[in-house]
Amino acid sequence: MADFMNLIRNENMKMFRRPRLFVMLGIIVGLVIVFSGVWFSVDKGESAMWEVVITETMFLYWIITIFAAIASASTVAEEFSSGTIKMLLIRPWSRSKILLSKYISSLLFALFFAVAFLASLMLVNWILFDLLGNGTVDRLSDVMGVSNIEYLFKYYGLLFLGTMMTVTISFMLSTVFRSSILAIATALFIEIVVNNFMQLLAFVKYKWIDYVLFVHLDLTKYVGGNEYNGMTLGFSLAVLGVYYVLFMVLTWYIFNKRDVAA
């Protein structure tokens, strides 16, 4: 177990020591500061902090998913494109352990950025805005029966589940392609183009569409606890669970069967 934890630590060091980490962090914090600053200048700080945080989460969180997809799509593919995969496989670890350590590191990378984004949102908007703004009414408590912070963390949790699925897809692509550029480009195409297009299919009245992966990646439509187009959160999680198992099995099969001699 200690050896495996060291393996995860080594993978984390690879991911967190790269210059792109600081570039991504700068973009995240910069976007939060700019959006919050513009909001503050428009309404002179009259909005409630929670209202700003929740709204900015809805509009800016996608960048976290994009960064997580880029990182996970390059994890394995970069080892092949740089030739370091041979050195990695001669060490006293099985291929499955190596792959699992990379996958866990990819999830931890996504979690780090999700937490960093939320922390910057809370800090910046706590400085600029009052907790409840001009009023003393917790709007979400009145409308949905939940507090602002409860709504935020439920919404954020559902967002991160979608991010985890995207990381899994990107990680699978990283094992399929030897080129990290090709893996990243495919992951971004799926996330930006295919995912958004497929979301529109949810409004088409065909039963088979209910089983398309991309229709279920956005789980925030269930944040109020209601059905959406006849589907429930449990159904969406079940569909995602089936795809998750398929992707992981395919990822492990390809990586364990791949010839690295060439």
Residue-wise pLDDT tens digits, 122-177: 999 988 887 655 544 455 545 555 677 788 888 899 999 989 998 998 888 888 87
- Residue-averaged pLDDT of the chain: 81
Is residue 256 within 8 Å of 97, Cβ to Cβ? no
Is 183 or 27 the better-scoring residue by pLDDT? 27
Q: What is the mean pLDDT of residues 233-240?
A: 92
Percent of all residues in the chain with a pLDDT value above 70, rounded to a whole number: 80
Q: For position 241, what pLDDT does the model report?
A: 95
Q: Please check the confidence at residue 76 and state whether its pLDDT lies above 90.
A: no
Q: For position 227, what pLDDT does the model report?
A: 74
Q: Please check the confidence at residue 77 and state whether its pLDDT lies above 50.
A: yes
DSSP 83: T
Q: What is the mean pLDDT of residues 53-57?
A: 89
Query: Which of 211, 180, 212 is CA-nearest to residue 198?
Result: 212
Is residue 248 packed enough to be buried (19+ CB in 10 Å), middle (13-18) or exposed (0-12)? Answer: middle
Give residue 28's Cα distance to chain centre: 14
Q: For position 136, what pLDDT does the model report?
A: 43
pLDDT digit string, tens, across residues 169-204: 888 888 887 767 777 787 777 777 766 666 666 666
pLDDT digit string, tens, across residues 93-105: 777 888 888 899 9
Whole-model pTM: value is 0.85
CB count in 10 Å sphere of residue 259: 5
Domain boundaries, the chain: 2-128+139-257
Q: For position 254, what pLDDT does the model report?
A: 86
